[in-house]
Each structure stands twice: as structure tokens, then as C-alpha cells.
A and B are shown apart, each in its own frame.
Chain A
Amino acid sequence: MKRVRHSPAQVFALPLLIALATIAGLVLGLTGDGARDLAAALLAGIAPLAIIAMLARRT
């Protein structure tokens, strides 16, 4: 087993990025249609894609 120890900053770096992308997407979708909706879906879609990637991985 690896002997690494992560600091809270390391533990939360990626979750924080995903959370910010989600919130940016949700807010962006509120501010307009068309290109903004597309950008909103791309940003908010990161979280479900990460979950799908985890479920699809075989280890």
C-alpha cells in the first residue's frame, strides 16, 4: 500500500474544480439561451461524466 498522505488541499483540489464547473454551468444556463446553454451543459456535464467514468473502469 502506498504511504502517501494527502493534505486537505490535495484531497479537495479536484472535487473543488468539479464543484466550481457545476455551479458555473448552472448559473450560465440561467443567463441566456443558445451558446450559453451549450456551455452550461458542458460545464455541468463534467460531474455525471466523472461518475460514468468511475463506473465504467474495471479494477
Chain B
Amino acid sequence: MTRRAIRTWYLIHKWSSLIPTAFLLMLCVTGLPLTFHDEIDAAMGADAAERLAGAPSADEGLPLDTMLAKAQAERPGEVPLFMAFSQDSPLLTVTMGPTPDAVPEDMTLLFLNRHTGASLGPAPTNTVMDFLLQLHTDMFLGLPGMLLLGAMGVLFVLALISGVVLYAPFMRKLDFGTVRKSRSSRVRRLDQHNFIGIVAFAWMLVVGVTGAINAFADPLTDNWRDGEVARMTTAYADAEPLEPENYGSIDAAMAAAKEALPGRSPQFIGFPGGAWSSGHHYAIFFQGDRPVTQHLLTPALVDAETGTLTDARTMPALNQALMMSKPLHFGDYGGLALKLIWAALTLATIWVLWTGILLWLRRKPGHIERRIEEIRTGGSTFRTAAAT
């Protein structure tokens, strides 16, 4: 690798790291407890609804129209926005809001038991976890905050790639895993930064890329609704949005959807006029029928007035990537062992970020050439200087 190439990659690595470092540290610190949100909820007794006895609400239970009526009785004057199913318990959730296109802040999430028909009231909130989640997602800035964090994620990926490129000249004379603890603290720090960075690289890349994709979730969903859904429902293009009092039976709509997509388990229903449907349809989202495709949802659009199927199509590739990105980013899909690995590698990432900051702050004064020489020689600048 020429000095010139090292110089270019060094500058890329420096700036693509320095700019997002503060954001990345915040994301690591907030992401660490979020990985364990199930365990934390359970420890705080906020998981009662997940432990209900009976068949999963996605499979069977009381009629959906009955359940919806119960939810509406709790929030008179409001309209239903979403109904979501559990694959593990009779828990059924219904989201209510003042209008079909209500913003998330105005929505109320209600818990119901589809086995007994009992209303369990609004979903329990966990102030600390909700705060951490919102800080992690958009820093309380809405879409601009999400996009800013997405941009920081893109820079992070660039920092990872440039870091791997610089690893090659640095390690030319060193064996894998070398950490020189007897040399100066700068050399030790460089060795740790490089070793932990290269070992955790694949995980950091996956979490970085999927995090950046998740940051663009809202525009991607809008894009799907305005493009694909519009094409699926061209016959309704000129129709007025359906008024909530004219919504027909959900059970009939579910039966029509299951006929189109047999053998699949429903995950949620987007009601007409929301971000996840057209102005005229129930969008019923089904999971894939194999473990591999479980995270990939296929929507069936059913006329909400008549209960007849309009169309069922898999989502576009970008939206599918978004759906696969969620579990890969959250790390909550493989049991406690995988979560512990997520935690360990998050700590490793914090260490790489921290040693990176220290390497920059405590650099010896002088020209950039010194840093290039450091990378080129694997941190033995003085020895090389004496030899030449």
C-alpha cells in the first residue's frame, strides 16, 4: 500500500469516525439496556399480558369484531388504527386514535385478552425504557432526528471499512492478536483499537447497516403506500376515503385474506387511512410460513366496506430489507445467549470508540505524516526512524 493510499484512507477513517463518535456512543449506551427490554419488563412486572393462558391470538379466540367493539367502548369517539396479534399468548392489541391518520403521539395502545374477551386497559408504559428508545431512535426530534442518526450510521459504516483497509499495512509485521502492553500507552491503545475493531467488525457492520436502514423506515413505508399500495388499489384511486362508521366486518376481511394466503399467521392489521394501508382497505399483514421468512410480512388488501379481497402482494425488496433489518439490529431473536453476545459486542464497540477518541486527542503534535508512518510501520515509528 503506498503512502498516498494510506494517507487517503487515514483521512477517511479520521473524519468518518470523529463526526459520528458522540452519536455512536449515545447509541451504544442506550442500545445496551434496550437489547434486554423483555427481561427488564419481566423484572418490573410489566409482562403480565405476555403470560396470559390460552391459544395465541393470531390463531384463534373470540371474533375480531367483538374484540374491536370492546376496544372502541374504552375510547369512545376514537377510531381504530391498528390491531396486532401475538404468536405466543391470547394478547391482542388495538391502537386507537382521534382520526385515521393520527400521529403516534395521539395514539393509545389497548391490551385485550382474545381468549376471555377481557379488556386489560392501556398498555403498561415503562418511562425509562420509552425514554431510551426514543433517544435511540430519533433523539426526540422526529423524522429529522431519525435521518440524522441514519446519516451517522452511514458514516459509521464508512469508518468500519476504512478501518479494515488501514488494518492491513498496520499488521504487516505483527501477528494477529498482538497487543503490546509493555510499550507506550499509545501503542497499547492502538493495538487494542485495531484488534477489537477487526474482531467485532462483522457484528458492527451488521448492526450499523441495519440501524441505518431502520432510520429510513418511515420514508420507506410511505414510499410503499404511495407506490405499491396505490398500484394494487387503482380501482379505488378516485374514491373518497372510507368513513370509520362504514368499516365492515374484520372477521369477514380476515377470512378473505386467509383464503388468498393460506397457512400463514397474521401479525397485524392496518386500518384505512393510516400509514400502513390505503384510504379504503384493511391491510392484513401475514408472516412468512417458514422460519426463514417469518420476519418477512406479506399484506393482503381487503376492501374494508365489503370484505372482499383486492390484492395480496409481497412487499418491494427495500421494504423486505427493512423487515429483516429489525431483528438483526435489535438482537432479540435468538434467546438470552445472543442478547449477551450483543451486550458484549456493544461494550467492545464502546471501547473501540473510546480508544479512537483517545488516539486522536493524545496524538503527538506534528504533521499527518507521523500518523501515516505509525500505520505503515505498525506503531514502531521511533525504531524505523533510527534505522533509516
Contacts and interface: CB of A to CB of B under 8 A. Distances in A.
A41 to B, nearest CB: 4
A29 B331 CA distance: 9
A12 B345 CA distance: 20
Contacts of B338: 29, 37, 40-41, 44
User: Chain A contact residues: over half helix, strand or loop, or mixed?
Assistant: helix
B122 to A, nearest CB: 31
Given A30-B295, A59-B182, A50 B337 contact: no
B341 A32 contact: no
User: Chain B contact residues: over half helix, strand or loop, or mixed?
Assistant: helix
Looking at A2, A40, A44, which has the most chain B CB atoms within 10 Å of its CB? A44
B364 interface: no
Contacts of A31: 291-292
Instruction: Categorize the interface residue count of chain B.
Output: 35 or more
B173 A4 contact: yes
Interface string B343-373: 0110010000000000000000000000000
Instruction: Categorize the interface residue count of chain A.
Output: 35 or more
A18 B199 contact: yes
A39 B386 CA distance: 51
B380 A1 contact: yes
Interface of B: 164, 167-168, 171-177, 179, 181-182, 192, 195-196, 198-203, 206, 291-292, 295, 324, 327-328, 333-335, 337-338, 341, 344-345, 348, 380, 383
7 A-B pairs with the lowest CB-CB distances in the bound complex, closest first: A29-B334, A41-B337, A19-B202, A48-B344, A22-B202, A32-B291, A15-B198
Interface of A: 1-6, 8, 11-15, 18-20, 22-23, 26, 29-33, 36-38, 40-41, 44-45, 47-48, 50-52, 54, 57-59
